[in-house]
Amino acid sequence: MPLLFGRPFLTQTFVIFEHVPLYGEIEIASALAFDFGVYCVVVGGLLTILSVVGAE
């Protein structure tokens, strides 16, 4: 995405949310989407392995 906006490759952006209850201010980086995707793949893989091993 950064290349489409004339930014260097692997540029990270962030958004700051203010007045969040219990936290006050939160900074969310664009890398969070990648990290969440990796988390989903790992958890999905582990659940698949446990399902296959548990069925035997």
User: How large a percentage of the chain has pLDDT more than 70?
Assistant: 98
Cα distance between residue 30 and residue 45, in whole Å = 24
pLDDT score at 40? 98
Q: What is the pTM of this model?
A: 0.66
For 28-53, the pLDDT digits (tens) are 888 888 899 999 999 999 999 999 99
